[in-house]
Amino acid sequence: MEKKHYLIRTTLGAVTSVGLACLIWEAFARSGIFPPALAPSVVLIGSALGRMVLSGVMLRHALYTLYRVLFGFVLASVVGVFIGILMGRFRRVERFFLPLVSVLMPIPSLAWVPVFILWFGLGNAATIALVFYAATFPVIYNTWTGVRSVNRLWIRSAEAMGADEKALFRKVVLPGSLAFVITGLRQAFARAWIAVVGGEMIAATSWGLGWVIFDSKEFLNTDVMMATLAVIGIIGFAFERLIFHTIEQRTVARWGMVKAVKG
């Protein structure tokens, strides 16, 4: 019953916030600040979205983008968590990787687009490499921070009770740092979307949501552009609620390590 009530509250909250955003945009579109070709109404945006969904074009573009995002994001998550744990557990690894992370993390992923195009050419490889670069460092940094924040008393107690390195990692280090890891994954996923859209605008051939946005700008199809942005937002919201929120609720929130969100 509580889960049903939470679902109802979440749905109502989402509908309310989206409805308010639509009203604000509609007021902006009707204000006359920009002509209708530059600021289409919600009806025109919805009509463009409906046409593209019914024709199957939007789904195909979204699948191409999701493939690039998920491929790079999953690879970055595996590499980032692995390196972050090693950095948190071993000083030598930390001294080696921390300067690299500190130097590379502030560099915008889009600054690497020309280099990746030269290396990988146009298409999936360059865009996936861009996503991997953008998503890896938030995972490394947050995992490293999470492992370092684990209470040393827990570790010493587990060692005193005879826990080996494997048991120590599984029973103490991983649960203690998981809240930070999830935060890193959320940040990485957001940066992955920034990278993939920017990469598709430049490095993609003819498919992908970023390519649709760029192509719409060239032909002044602002309604298509805004509809594509809405799709990106919907996908991001779905991943947050269905993936990251679920993982958080079933792990660290259930363990009492973070405050469970009730609505």
CATH no. for residue 206? Answer: 1.10.3720.10
Residue 171 Rama label (left phi>0; alpha psi -120 to 50; beta): alpha
Within a domain: residue 92? yes
Does residue 227 register a pLDDT over 80?
yes
Classify residue 53 by burial, with Cβ atoms within 10 Å: 0-12, 13-18, 19+. Answer: middle
Does residue 107 register a pLDDT over 70?
yes
Identify the band that residue 263 occupies on the pLDDT scale cut at 50, 70 and 90.
very low
- Which of 139-153, 160-174, 177-191, 200-214 tops mean pLDDT? 177-191
Does residue 190 register a pLDDT over 50?
yes
Mean pLDDT of the chain: 86
Within a domain: residue 97? yes
Within a domain: residue 236? yes
The number of C-alpha atoms within 13 Å of 176 and in the hemisphere containing its C-beta is 21
- Minimum mean pLDDT among 3-17, 50-64, 72-86, 229-243: which range? 3-17
Residue 239 near residue 189 (C-beta atoms within 8 A): yes
Does residue 188 register a pLDDT over 90?
yes
Identify the band that residue 36 occupies on the pLDDT scale cut at 50, 70 and 90.
confident
- Non-local (6+) Cβ contacts of 263 within 8 A are 5, 6, 9, 10, 13
Within a domain: residue 34? no
| Cα–Cα nearest to 225, from 201, 205, 204, 203 | 201
Within a domain: residue 23? no
Mean pLDDT of 177-195: 92
pLDDT of residue 235: 92
Q: How many domains does the chain have?
A: 1
Q: How many residues does the chain have?
A: 263
In terms of residue numbers, what domain contains 135? 55-220+231-250
Does residue 261 register a pLDDT over 50?
no
Q: Is the dihedral of CA 227, 230, 236, 237 positive or negative?
A: negative
How many angstroms separate the CA atoms of 120 and 130, rounded?
Answer: 11
Does residue 216 register a pLDDT over 70?
yes
Does residue 196 register a pLDDT over 50?
yes
Does residue 68 register a pLDDT over 80?
yes
pLDDT of residue 257: 62
Mean pLDDT of 205-227: 88
Within a domain: residue 239? yes
How many angstroms separate the CA atoms of 173 and 148, rounded?
Answer: 9
Structure pTM?
0.85
Structural tokens at position 142: 């947050």
Helices (H), 121-208: 124-149, 152-160, 165-168, 174-202
Within a domain: residue 145? yes
- Which of 12-16, 230-234, 240-244 tops mean pLDDT? 230-234
Residues of the chain above pLDDT 90, percent: 45
Q: Residue written as tokens 């002509």?
A: 35
pLDDT of residue 94: 93
pLDDT of residue 143: 94
Does residue 29 register a pLDDT over 50?
yes
What DSSP state is assigned to residue 171?
Answer: I
How many angstroms separate the CA atoms of 87 and 227, rounded?
Answer: 42
Within a domain: residue 45? no
